[in-house]
Structure 1
Amino acid sequence: MSSPSRDSHEKIVITGAANGIGKATAIACVEAGYYVIAADKDRLGLQALQARLPTHRLETHLADFSQPQVYQSFIGDLYDRHRHNALEALVNNAGIYHGKSVYDYSDEEVEEIWAVNLKSLVYLSKDFARRESGATHLRSIVNVTSVAGEVGSMDALYGATKAGVIGLTKANAWNFAPGSG
């Protein structure tokens, strides 16, 4: 029996898939029969995921979502360069937690946490929704956040970005839900 092609399975994109919640989500989705497109900047973590999961159910992409050229083109590249015809779900899981006072952040770290924890989600979500707007069945965007977005955090930037993710998730529902356009 031949291996099914990557286009014969429902596809789920997971960012931050090399470790933690993202890795557990990728494993659970593959075990449930989905084809997972796993993206992360952790090359070794992605290689470990590849070693654990069947190659006909997993595709990995080395992607640093702190870089605008990455988060602004990632979804489009999946369709155009990697020839995916349809994606069923996007799990925005990539995130950074520095665990330090706002006084201790460098300007580069401020930009990085805003990009990874919030800006990339905006671009990935809108690009996914735009590409899948004509789908005949429902698509899903799942944004992983933290209780720090509701109650705050000693790491003010982390808490602020996670509060932003909660707001973005609500806005996505308004903007992308069937019949909202």
Structure 2
Amino acid sequence: MASKLKSTKELMVFLGKSMIAFLESMIFIIVPRPRKNVAGEIVLITGSGSGLGRFLALRFARLGSVLVLWDINKEGNEDTCRMVREAGATRVYAYTCDCSQKENIYRVAEQVKKEVGDVSILINNAGIVTGKSFLDCPDELIEKAFDVNFKAHLWTYKSFLPAMIANKHGHLVCISSLAGLTGVNKLADYCASKFAAFGFAESICIETIAQKLKGIKTTIVCPCFIKTGMFEGCSTAHPFLLPVLEPEYVADKIVDAILQEKIYLNLPKRISFLMFLKSILPVKVLVLLAEYMGALNVMDGFVSKNKKN
């Protein structure tokens, strides 16, 4: 009897908290969430030498953040560093880092801790894509896709999460993809790595909540394809449903989600509805829907030779 009463009580508490959380979500649909101040926060962005990473750096520069820029492309990263200073950042640190190499990540991370301080906002943005059919994709490129798109997240979390926990303050940002939610033609390795990144980030988010680690926030971003060098030549049969997004727009939305401490950000929002349909529709209908949207042919015009974000 006592165990039944305990179970009933736990269920009622769960339902009550769930209702409060639901009502809170409904309120924030109408009333914008308050935005936090990131001035002085140490923001580390991987893949900052071009594309989305560069636009994110520029946004945080205007917000008064301290920028730590990581990219394997030294010249591109230095260009970003210069642009960020011109945008108003007073403290910017550029590091050449190969995010496909665990030892390199750990080494540069130690430099950052000594020379800059504790990273409080970590944005795992670096990524590469091959754009080949699975059987045509060389083993070394498949392995590199996992090293950069997924494994780098493991090593950066191990490097910077302990200080966030000690300081009871930190924000982990995972740039996943629509390809981390559903399969895409000619992107088998990319999809697998982005699925892994999404699952890892979500698991760590749940782990921090379960362990009552206060002050640790998570934002997981799943955008449709972005007009950067990574997806040159990429097109979609139905842009209204699956658009190729402008990087400036995506950067604005990501920064806004971080400031509002949103856990999930799908771009565009209708991706969430498409994923809901995926979960309830029969497989044959899903195939027909994918063909209609052009999801199975989204990469037909894709040309890439191991391009990076």
Matches within 5 A, 1:41-60: 41-54=72-85, 56-60=90-94
Matches of 2:213 and 2:206, distance apart in 1 = 6
Which of the residues 101, 106, 110 maps onto 2:138?
Answer: 106
Matches within 5 A, 1:1-181: 9-54=40-85, 56-80=90-114, 82=115, 84-136=116-168, 138-154=169-185, 155-177=187-209, 179-180=212-213
Q: Is the 8 A contact 2:57 2:84 kept in 1?
A: no
CA positional deviation for 1:68: 2.1
CA positional deviation for 1:153: 1.8
Q: Is the 8 A contact 2:69 2:81 kept in 1?
A: no
The SS at the match of 1:170 is: helix
Name the amino acid aligned to 1:179: K
Report the identity percentage.
Answer: 25
RMSD: 1.9
Q: Is the 8 A contact 1:174 1:180 kept in 2?
A: no
CA positional deviation for 1:50: 2.2
CA positional deviation for 1:111: 1.6
Encode CA deviations 1:141-170: one digit per residue, 9 max, x unaligned: 000011011111221000011111110111
Matches of 1:43 and 1:123, distance apart in 2 = 21
Encode CA deviations 1:1-48: one digit per residue, 9 max, x unaligned: xxxxxxx92210000011111111000001111011010011221121
Name the amino acid aligned to 1:42: N
Q: Is the 8 A contact 1:15 1:22 kept in 2?
A: yes
User: How many equivalent residue pairs?
Assistant: 171
Q: Is the 8 A contact 1:129 1:176 kept in 2?
A: no
Matches of 2:109 and 2:74, distance apart in 1 = 19
The SS at the match of 2:181 is: helix
Matches of 1:98 and 1:106, distance apart in 2 = 9
Q: Is the 8 A contact 1:17 1:46 kept in 2?
A: yes
Q: Is the 8 A contact 2:165 2:213 kept in 1?
A: no
Matches of 1:152 and 1:162, distance apart in 2 = 10
Matches of 1:173 and 1:73, distance apart in 2 = 25
TM-score where L is the length of structure 2: 0.52
CA positional deviation for 1:119: 0.6
Question: Which consecutive residues of structure 2, in runs of 5 or more, have no partner in the other structure?
Answer: 1-38, 215-309
Name the amino acid aligned to 1:48: D
What is aligned with 1:5? Answer: none
CA positional deviation for 1:86: 2.2
TM-score where L is the length of structure 1: 0.86
Structure 1 50/127 Cα, relative in aligned 2: closer, same or farther at 3 Å? Answer: closer
Matches of 1:36 and 1:79, distance apart in 2 = 13
Matches of 1:50 and 1:72, distance apart in 2 = 22
Matches of 2:108 and 2:73, distance apart in 1 = 16
